[in-house]
Amino acid sequence: MGCQQTKNTTCDNSSSVANCHGEKDIENDIEYRIPEVNDRQKELITETWKQLVDNISNVGVITFMNLFETHPSVQDVFMPFKGLSKEELSHSTELRAHGLRVMGFVQKIVARLHEPEKTEALLRELGRSHVMYGAKEEYVDLIGPQFVFAVKPSVADHWTDEVEESWLQLFRYMAAIMKMAMAECPDNGGQCRDGHTWH
Ligand code: HEM
């Protein structure tokens, strides 16, 4: 099955391992494509996660500090971090706690790599909650590259191009489903088109 670049999701054709499945947004006539993480990539992700899990609190902080530095407008989405300097962010217990929440979620996905229905349900729910947090769809694509940059030192010698591509593909997959769910919800947090409501 071929991949297509669509309005709201990215689907990477550049990698030989990229594969996609899609679904139709009837109202906007947009065909969404979800990048697929293959078995080899799942194996590499599971192996490297074991090596980096002890350092996950730092990885979360570094991921978000780099994200705020490269894309300052994203920092403003987080009320507790708005206007904080780099120095203040590096000592912020709230940023550490937030990073841990995000990494805890990544851990859930890694633990369910072979249960696509469960991961998709979790990611859809997360996408919906992010509309309410004020995260724009385009911001969701930014996390994967920053995560990769942040974890590299923890995995050191075991880091390869294949490992890097596996993690990037996982984040493309996560971002695609989150964005699909975000597109289903109005900005003001009312009822989502598929019938889910905010809680
Ligand atoms: C793959 C990408 C992401 C993942 C896995 C992720 C995960 C999470 C998780 C697990 C939470 C805790 C609350 C909940 O479960 O709803 C959260 C909260 C939040 N996220 Fe994300 N997030 C991602 C991307 C983003 C982006 C790109 C932004 C901003 C532009 C963002 C902004 C927020 C905000 C403002 C909160 C609420 C504050 C908080 O819980 O600390 N997230 N995110």
pLDDT per residue as tens digits for the range 35-48: 999 999 999 999 99
Average pLDDT for 17-44: 67
Residue 149 CA from chain centroid, whole number: 14
Q: Quick one: average pLDDT of 18-40?
A: 63
CA 2 to ligand 1 centroid distance, Å: 31
pTM tops 0.85, yes or no: no
Quickly tell me which residue has 């962010």 as its tokens: 89
pLDDT, tens digit, for every residue of 46-72?
Answer: 999 999 998 999 999 999 999 999 999
Output the CA 40–ligand 1 centroid distance in Å.
28
Amino acid making up residue 2 = G
Nearest-angstrom CA–CA distance, 101 and 106: 9
CA distance 38 to 31: 22
What the block records as the tokens of 124 is: 């859809």
| 149 C-beta closer than 6 A to ligand 1 | no
- Indicate the average pLDDT of the chain: 82
pLDDT at 184: 87
Q: How far apart are CA 127 and CA 55, in angstroms?
A: 26
Q: What are the tens digits of pLDDT across the range 123-166? A: 999 999 999 888 888 899 999 999 999 999 888 888 999 999 99
Taking CA atoms only, the protein residue closest to ligand 1 atom 7 is: 102
With cut-offs at 50, 70 and 90, classify the pLDDT of residue 187.
low
